[in-house]
Structure 1
Amino acid sequence: MRKRILTASLATTALIASSVLVGAGAAQADTNTLVVNAGAVLRPVTHVADGGLYSLATTTTPDPTLLPPLRLNQLTQPAPGVQQIGNGATVATGDALKVAPVATSVGAQTTIRMADIYPGFPYQGVTVPGYLQKVDTMVRARLAAASTTNLNGWELWNEPDGTWDTANNGPFNDAWVKIYNEVKKYDTVTPIVGPSISTYNHDTMLAFLKNDVANNTVPDVISWHELNSGADGWNLITSHVADLKAIEAQLGITPRPISINEYAAPDQVDVPSAALHYVAQFERAGVRDAERAYWFESGTVNGLLYNDKPTASYWMYKWYGDMAGTMLPVTASNFLDGIAAQDSTRKIVNVVFGGQAGTTTVRVDGLSGYGTQVKATLKFTPGSGRQTNVAAPTALGSQTLDVVNGSVTVPVSAAADYQGAYQLVVTPLNGPTTATQQTYEAENATVVNAQRLSSPTASNGGYVGRIDGTGDARTDSFVDFLVDVPTAGTYSMAVRYANGGTTTSTQGLAYNGGAFSTVSYPSTGTWGTFSNSVSTNVTLKAGSNVIRLAKGSPNFAGGTGYAEIDSITLTR
């Protein structure tokens, strides 16, 4: 379960002989049915599992233009001064400060893995006094990068259950207290992440957190790895999360966000359906983020690229990246599992599924407002292995289907590739309400030092509030919208907001790293109630753009008052 082992590519390529959409009345005996409930909400779309360890090697590797469709959520990158020589590399790569501009430009936040200041794996030459000196150097380097945002954690050590030299350095839990306090000497605001054990263990986690409570060193984000090989290793995730919550309650710890900062074993991570099973469990379990493990070369987005071109797994994660609005509850059937989301603004249900050989069926319930008939479109990406480029998914067809009692049934007849993955898109018969996405929900965006909240008056039920500013890049508060427009030019941007104060408030507006202007929000009289919007113009390039609305941000003096953001809508 070590991330530094370069494994051989999967040899088996399963073939899809005749996958097509078939009529809703076709025989469905011995069929596994995946059920999607479009009438309920699981959580906002935040692309929980679209992250990775050592995803970025340099500012040009991987090709930055391939990253926006993935909607990267969270990265873990090595420390400033990294000495680890990763898979397929001849020099150390991935320094978190050096690659930070690319991470920010695609909407990702980054945790710094401090232990990778050491060479070798397990780490070589470690002493507690020596490490504390290195910690000082790393933290000072980050503090000197005063304009760098989106660094949201110090991971104090990596896999202590396998890499900590207890014989020479004493118990790890004792060392944790020293390392924690050393970071806090210089940086009292950046969250602390840990313990990052290689596999979840109740006794290990309980002892670690008991010691932290006693010493006031509980991490701000609790992390561990899910590298469970085997056909259903992902099924342990939900029980691990439940066990942690029970420990927190037992010890009186306020519930912490959970980061699974390495997931999937070598025989799973680049099998689309296996990786998808992990993604589905992370969405259900309610973790904050999850990152693909580093089994392959640095700078390949953890194997989603080969020779800087997409593999089959890239397209599964791209379909995940396409999701907007709210995640939907999904009920699995045997090894058939998946994820689904609904963009209620555009009337799109996006389902990604796989894992079961033979004929399968997807049933979507709760299709209110979609009409008596819908259009169902199916695509496929194969289980073709690590070293096979796949230029695009395979289109398997579209069909008009009847909606019966709010439900549509979509059989998928196949000599099915259980290693591959499928995308089903359901829209009204004439297609989505807009050809491209125009409205972007704040709760779907990159939320930095603010909070996702809910309100019945917010579109899709969610918004971002508690947007504050301090004049410090570590704690400044903003929302980054990663938007995609078909053509370059000037767009009107309507911001749907609430301002419960008595006077007009302001925020900074910048896009693609440019200069800030000011957006003003007249009072709306109440917080968390959304019916007002203000408009301004933005000049965007064709393709991907990042639009920042900030109370505080580098190169911005800071806004006044407060405003909550529901969504932005772009109109050419």
Structure 2
Amino acid sequence: MASVVFTGSPSAQAAASPSTTLVVNANQVLRPVTHVATGSLYGLANASTPADNLVQAIKPNTFVQKPQGGHQQGTGDVLTVAPKAARAGAKVVNRLSDYYAGWPYQFSWSNWLSVVDDQIAQTKASGITNLAAYAPWNEADGTWKTANGTFEDFWTRTYREIRSKDATTPIQGPSFSDNIGDMDNFLKNAVATNTVPDIIAWHELIRSSKIAGDVATVTGLENKYGISPRPIAIEEYAAPSEVGIPGPLVGYVAKFERLGVHDAELAFWNQSGALGDLLTGQGGSPNGAYWLYKWYADMSGSMLTTTAPAQTGIDGAASRNSAGNEVDVIFGGGSGDSAVQVNGLNSLSAFGSTAHVKVEYTPSRGRTTAVSGPTTLAESNYTVNNGSITVPVTTNTTDGYHLVITPATGGGTTGGTTTGGTTTGGTTTGGTTTGGTGSASCKVTVTPQTWTGGYTANVTVANTGSDAVNGWKLGFTLPAGQTITGAWNATVSPTSGQVAATNLSYNAQIPPGGSQSFGFQGTDTGTYSPPSGFTLNGTACTAG
């Protein structure tokens, strides 16, 4: 039976091209790490939902919430959730128009200015210190009724009312949807009436590829009207089909970072209290996208410049820690043979002639399907050539990926620098090693993730002996009813019964005390149980 290679696996046979390669410059700082895109609209439901540990782990930047006592949604009152946001280091925005029920809003001039005054008074009385801004309205291009006059007049009157009661809290707007065609008229009026927002805000709810054009449009209008550059807030982002899916969300994060957006919030399409659909439901469990944002949250130090080949396809964001001894890259959106090229490592004193690379992925199993955590696909050393390494990864458009690059701490180079699919650095070249030498003691650890009818298994093969293993074949037995449908970091054949997993060219060596990892995905007709009877190059291994 033919061997299988799982889409999502790093592969030395991958034939990535410039059109499918993300370039990271480790020596070019873009901006400080602020986790621009980790917030959400109605991401918090109340004082207890979601749980603090889930909120704090993704280091949210900003939440947009409804006024205290507002009627647009049943949960999410800004003053109720502000302390929870503060515990996570996040700010909150009060979307004043969400005081009203209905869509379009059941707005009335008869009580509007009183609503504004009351919200400001309640905020001052509450003592919260993490209010980022007041947002007077939401998506006027679809919700403002001409019977109430012009939106420009509404904005002028409301801006002045807020400033009469609060002279310092930022005001953001106009909060248009994707249709920013009226931004010219809005800013022209704002300049004429001295009501230019402190933060210019709109939404990106169709696709990430249009963000750069919209930012350029707004920047051009600032120049046209002599407006000093304002921070940009994207109060809602991602289409309904994209939320909860790691792959397409990477493109938004990357572009917000690259274009200097101040803060951006995941859209509210389904339930409040789900962190913008990073959880399976209100107060639910993490889905695959959550772990993408956890990687993003774990970035520290400085964001680095990244260059994507186009506005669509593979894209990503990268960081360098303050010590200069770790580069992290999150990426996705590619399909098939892809690569990440990291340049400028020779400018970091911590790095020498080799770099250690860990590759992880988080799967897309749908917004409402829980994922217990990311999976490690590979760990190996790469030769640094002229300050650069290139890591090939065969990608799926819906999954998210993560590289952790640190200085190598010894042992042979098992990855090398991959260019055009040929391993040219390190100690291994060519294709898959089919046999292997070295009789070593071994220990095998299997870490599964299961769901009804299926599973993934990440397998770590540890060399517990004193001799190096140069080329490995791991034999094992699958339980009855299990069939392998894909694998990464190894060729696996056959797909059931007595199975053998054989190294690829970049992970052929296992030094004494070292390990290599591979994994596979499969179907299961019963209750999951792990494989057994492990042998490494014919020598029995212990299971751990």
Of residues 396, 404, 427, the one that matches 2:406 is 427
The one-letter amino acid paired with 1:113 is R
Q: Deviations over 1:74-93 (max 9, x none)?
A: 111111111123xxxxxx21
Are 1:21 and 1:399, in contact at CA under 8 Å, matched by a contact in 2? no
**What does residue 43 of structure 1 align with?**
31
Local SS of the residue matching 1:305:
coil
**Contact kept in structure 1, 2:243 and 2:278, CA below 8 Å:** no
Shift of 1:103: 0.5
Alignment match, 1:326: 302
The partner residue of 2:72 within 84, 89, 103 is: 84
Match of 2:222 among 235, 245, 248: 248
Deviating runs (4+, > 3 A) in structure 1?
Answer: 18-23
Q: Does 1:226 align with 2:226?
A: no
Q: 1:8-407 counterparts in 2 under 5 A?
A: 17=6, 19-23=8-12, 26=13, 28=15, 32-85=20-73, 92-124=74-106, 126-145=107-126, 147-166=127-146, 168-202=147-181, 204-228=182-206, 233-307=207-281, 308-334=284-310, 335-345=313-323, 347-368=325-346, 369=349, 370-407=351-388
Verify the 8 A CA contact 1:382 1:417 in the aligned structure 2: no
User: Counterpart amino acid of 2:377?
Assistant: L
Does the 8 A contact of 2:176 with 2:201 survive in 1? yes
Q: Secondary structure at the match of 1:426?
A: strand
Cα distance in 1 between the residues matched to 2:220 and 2:278: 35
Q: Secondary structure at the match of 1:112?
A: strand
Partner of 1:451: none
Distance 2:343 2:166 in 1: 49
SS at match of 2:69: coil
Distance 1:16 1:108 in 2: 42
- Which runs of no fewer than 5 residues in structure 1 stay unpaired? 1-14, 86-91, 432-572
Question: Where does residue 503 of structure 2 map in the other structure?
Answer: none
In structure 2, what is the Cα distance between the partners aligned to 1:250 and 1:294? 33
Q: Which amino acid aligns with 1:318?
A: K
| C-alpha distance in 2 between matches for 1:57 and 1:312 | 21
Corresponding residue of 1:524: none
The TM-score normalised by the length of structure 1 is 0.68
Q: What is the distance in 2 between the residues matched to 1:399 and 1:217?
A: 56
CA contact (8 A) 1:200 1:240 kept: no
Question: 1:340, 1:216 → 2: CA distance?
Answer: 39
The answer to whether the Cα contact below 8 Å between 2:244 and 2:290 also exists between their aligned partners in 1 is no
How many angstroms does 1:189 deviate by?
1.0
CA separation of 1:18/1:284 partners in 2, compared to 1, >3 Å: closer, same or farther?
closer
Pairwise CA distance, 1:197? 0.6
The C-alpha deviation readout for 1:471-501, integer Å capped at 9, x for no partner, is: xxxxxxxxxxxxxxxxxxxxxxxxxxxxxxx
| Closer, same or farther: CA 161–16 of 1 in aligned 2, 3 Å | farther
Distance in structure 1 (CA, Å) of the matches to 2:352 and 2:72: 56
> 1:45 Cα deviation (Å)?
0.9
Q: In 1, are the aligned partners of 2:16 and 2:339 still within 8 Å (CA)?
A: no
Supply the distance in 1 between the matched residues of 2:16 and 2:221 (Cα, whole angstroms).
45
| 8 Å Cα contact 1:40-1:329 kept in structure 2 | yes
- Quote the Cα distance in structure 1 between the aligned partners of 2:317 and 2:94: 29
Q: Aligned Cα RMSD in Å?
A: 1.7
Identity of aligned residues (%): 45
Separation in 2 of the partners of 1:16 and 1:305? 30
How far off its partner does 1:373 sit?
A: 0.8
Q: Contact conserved, 1:319 with 1:423, CA < 8 A, in 2? A: yes
Paired with 1:66 and 1:375, the residues of 2 have a C-alpha distance of 30
The C-alpha deviation readout for 1:426-476, integer Å capped at 9, x for no partner, is: 000139xxxxxxxxxxxxxxxxxxxxxxxxxxxxxxxxxxxxxxxxxxxxx
1:52·1:76 contact (CA, 8 Å) conserved in 2?
A: yes
Answer yes or no: is the 8 Å Cα contact 2:136–2:155 preserved in 1.
Answer: yes
Query: Does the 8 Å CA contact 1:128/1:175 hold for their aligned counterparts?
Result: no
Give the conservation status (yes or no) of the 8 Å contact 2:138–2:174. yes
Cα distance in 2 for residues equivalent to 1:344 and 1:426: 14
User: Offset of 1:27 from its aligned partner?
Assistant: 5.8
Q: 1:19: how far off?
A: 3.6
For 2:45 and 2:58, the matched residues in 1 are separated by 17
Separation (CA, whole Å) in 2 of partners of 1:323 and 1:221 = 25
SS of alignment partner, residue 409 of structure 1: strand
CA contact (8 A) 1:80 1:95 kept: yes
Q: 1:74 to 1:398 in 2, by over 3 A?
A: same
Whole-angstrom distance in 2 between the partners of 1:163 and 1:27: 49
SS at match of 2:28: coil
AA of the residue aligned to 1:310:
P
**Matched residue of 1:21: which SS?**
coil
- Cα deviation 1:375-412 (Å, max 9, x = unaligned): 10011111211110000111112011111111111112
Letter of the 1:383 partner, please give it.
S
Amino acid at match of 2:10: L
Tell me the distance in 2 between the aligned counterparts of 1:30 and 1:361: 8
1:135 to partner: Cα distance: 1.2
- The question of whether the paired residues in 2 share the 8 Å contact of 1:336 and 1:355 is answered with yes
Q: Structure 1 pair 325/84, CA: closer, same or farther in 2 (3 Å)?
A: same
Aligned length, in residue pairs: 399
Displacement of 1:371 after TM fit? 1.1
Contact preservation (8 Å) 1:21, 1:398: no
Q: Distance in 2 between matches of 1:155 and 1:209?
A: 16
How far residue 346 of structure 1 moved from its aligned partner, in angstroms, is 5.3
Separation in structure 1 between the aligned mates of residue 129 and residue 82 of structure 2, nearest angstrom: 8
Cα distance change of structure 1 residues 407 and 83 upon mapping to structure 2, 3 Å threshold: same
| Aligned mates of 2:9, 2:189 — CA distance in 1 | 57
Rounded to whole Å, the distance in 1 between the matches of 2:234 and 2:325 is: 32
Q: Distance in 2 between matches of 1:305 and 1:16?
A: 30
CA distance in 2, matches of 1:207, 1:355: 35
User: What's the secondary structure of 1:161's corresponding residue?
Assistant: helix
- Per-residue Cα deviation, 1:12-48 (whole angstroms, up to 9, x for no partner): xxx982543345xx46365722111101111111111
> How far off its partner does 1:68 sit?
1.7
Q: 3-state DSSP class of the match of 1:210?
A: helix
Q: Specify whether residues 405 and 128 from structure 1 end up closer, same or farther in structure 2 by C-alpha distance, changes over 3 A only.
A: same
Tell me, yes or no, if the aligned pair for 2:16 and 2:392 is still in contact at 8 Å: no
